[in-house]
Structure 1
Amino acid sequence: MRGEALYCRSIALDGLFPFVEKKGGQPLKWAAEVGLKPSFHSKSIDFVRWNALCDYLELCSERLNMPAFGIEWAHDLPDDPRNSGPTLLMAAISKNLRQSLKVAVEYQKIHTNGVAYSIQENEAAAEVTGYVDIHPMSNSSRQYCEHILAFLAIYGERYIPRVDFTRVTFQHKAPANTYWHEKTFKHPIIFNADRNSLVSKISVLNTPSSHLTTLLLPLLRTYLNRRQRSVSSRTSVAMDVAETLPQMFGLKRTRITDVAEALEISEKKLQRLLRDEGVSYSAVLDDVRRNSATRLLQESNISITRLAKMLDYSTVESFNFACKRWHGQSPRQVRQMRDG
């Protein structure tokens, strides 16, 4: 089937169903109509069919009579949307915005193949352009394109010092009413363009991470507090670690030091708490990887290479070795058993 192997991580649906319901729609019923099967397990790595998501957004736009549905959804998102923890950690560990964005682009590559993000610097024009390229086998995705570019514009202006967007371009034709576009982008909007993009002055890339961290610190604290339970109320520290790891996969930040930082405790304390429960950090990490890999091999068409990167294995060979240790079979053989 055309585009059947396209997917995106279910975190992309953050806030979507509540927004549809708030606008008077029937989110679950409409999702079933287009074959969108969202996951409600936010602490695990789950995927949805990309084409089903695109169909759903267009359906919502039509039935709610909201031509700018994707943009309005972007405005409705909270201050710390989507997988904000990893994004904030990327900003904190990067030298500047340029480096942070490069890490973010690589991070996104393993979480979706329905859309590709890229950044191009033009020193002669003193501009930097962020591109959003939809897969050629994708269903109509106007609402998604408008949503993601609106999301980038809104949160860029909110949290990046000195950002100055100069124009936005869309591949689709101009809608009859551009009120939400003008409200959101505030700069020249070009339709029927070659690519979907958001353009800013290149100087913004040199914004040091210290400036980003200062502005994003309240969000980082919110994220950490949400991830952390007080020691007295914890039922299992190992469970806390297991719930945190999927949010950090893909960042190459899955050492015990990184997870301890995300839980706002010291590495030594985390080691002691895990030891008191009779487990080691490496055992918890291995268990999370095994459960995630097994489920995704059985339920998704994500490539073996992408899956290895997503679970932060240094090489595909390392992932193959781990899978043979778990199941006595290679990842490909595990998937072939699913396909019968």
Structure 2
Amino acid sequence: MSASLLSMASLGNNVGVLSAAASGLDRFIEGQGGDLDRIFGRAGIDPEQLRHPTLSLALTNYCRVPEEAARQSGSDNFGLHYGQQFQPRDLGLLGYVGLFSSTLEEALKNFAEAFPYHQHSTLIRLVDCGECYRFDYQVRHGAILDRRQDAELTMGMAVNLVRHVLGRDWAPRAVAFEHERPEGWQEHGAAFGAPVQFGRPCNFLLVPKGDVQGRAMPERDPNLLFLFQDVIRRLGEQGNRPSLLEEAGTQIRLALAQGEPNLECISEQLELTPAGLQRRLREEGLSFSQLVEQTRRELALHYMRQRQRPISELAPLLGYSETSAFSRAFRRWFGVSPRQWRGDDR
């Protein structure tokens, strides 16, 4: 087994997410009545890649699949349903890192530590909050704005790691999502068996420590744990960093909530001088102001599609001090006012 597993590390570089994250996704889409070719075609993914769990999928393409599946199948809670049935061993290397840990508490810690090698451009951490552990998850890729379905399926995967030991009736203390409350929000509470909050800064689960401390993992095996940790680390370390445009776009998106993005501050976050950042952007055919404008435009469309969000709330999310400034920019981008855009249902 050792030679077989170690050889998997040479199959490809993980520059996004290991394709094991989409294990069974094709069958699930078809089971929900979705058109597999259409959904994967729009997401830019070759279904053949899913047969090789250590191949890398671009994170932008991967996150687009459940979003497209939700729209195309008419199942608005697609990610929630997919995550609820996704078992730890389906995650491949990452799942086995959890399953082969000695205790459930250690499984959560090892899972969180290994996750960055499984999926890049993502915040994941297990935070000690006294009586509970808080399991945080958030995609932080500047080009990925629609990520509700991914968040819901990932929270389901994490819950199922605990339920693998404690049974299907186990429930976290609370669940939170960064996206706004969807129409079928009552289903979330039933799926997790816990209070669910929406519109929070980050997706998270609250796991009572008393539930996981001292609970042995049925498949615990320290030798296999070490082996799987080594393999997934090798795969992750071979991956490339996101491009400068992706990283700069992410930092601008995070800064917009505080107002107008500042070249000096963004440069510092990227460990570049202002002149160095401007030079690198010129090589990509963009100025800093154009990248800010492009990021705002993409975010504006993202928020406008969330029809439950009042237009009056969007200006500060995009770094504008006044709604009138946002409206002028929106008309410049799309030729109509925000209200006309929503009225046209485009």
Give the unaligned 5+ runs of structure 2. 1-13, 243-346
Q: Distance in 1 between matches of 2:61 and 2:46?
A: 9
RMSD (CA atoms): 3.4
Q: Distance in 1 between matches of 2:87 and 2:105?
A: 25
Aligned equivalent of 2:133, options 112, 128, 132: 128
Aligned to 2:230: 252
Contact 1:10/1:39 (<8 A) preserved: no
- Secondary structure in 1 matching 2:207: strand
Change (3 A) 1:41 1:199: closer
* Deviation, structure 1 residue 33: 1.9
- TM-score normalised per structure 2: 0.56
Matched ranges for 1:205-220 at <5 A: 205-209=212-216, 212-213=217-218, 216=219
Residues 9-58 of structure 1: per-residue CA shift (max 9 Å, x gap): 11111111111112222213321222123444645620111111222211
- Secondary structure in 2 matching 1:81: helix
* Deviation, structure 1 residue 159: 2.1
Matched ranges for 1:139-154 at <5 A: 139-154=145-160
Residues 120-173 of structure 1: per-residue CA shift (max 9 Å, x gap): 0112xx111100121141231000001111222244234237955111001111
Q: Distance in 2 between matches of 1:117 and 1:130?
A: 7
Aligned to 1:55: 64
Change (3 A) 1:79 1:12: closer
Q: Distance in 2 between matches of 1:196 and 1:93?
A: 25
- Secondary structure in 2 matching 1:36: coil
The one-letter amino acid of 2:136's match is Y
Aligned to 2:41: 32
Aligned to 1:306: none
- Secondary structure in 2 matching 1:177: coil
* Deviation, structure 1 residue 117: 1.7
Matched ranges for 1:1-340 at <5 A: 7-40=16-49, 42-43=51-52, 45-77=54-86, 80-83=89-92, 87-88=95-96, 90-94=98-102, 96-123=103-130, 126-137=131-142, 138-160=144-166, 164-209=171-216, 212-213=217-218, 216=219, 251-252=229-230, 301=240
Aligned to 2:272: none
- Secondary structure in 2 matching 1:165: coil
Corresponding residue pairs, total? 224
Change (3 A) 1:43 1:248: farther
- Secondary structure in 2 matching 1:174: coil
Give the unaligned 5+ runs of structure 1. 221-244, 255-288, 304-340
**Percent of residue pairs bearing the same amino acid type:** 16
- Secondary structure in 2 matching 1:200: strand
The one-letter amino acid of 1:67's match is D
Aligned to 1:257: none
- TM-score normalised per structure 1: 0.57
Q: Distance in 2 between matches of 1:86 and 1:154?
A: 13
Change (3 A) 1:24 1:73: same
The one-letter amino acid of 1:104's match is F
Change (3 A) 1:108 1:249: farther
Q: Distance in 2 between matches of 1:44 and 1:64?
A: 25
* Deviation, structure 1 residue 59: 1.3
Contact 1:165/1:201 (<8 A) preserved: yes
Q: Distance in 2 between matches of 1:166 and 1:188?
A: 8
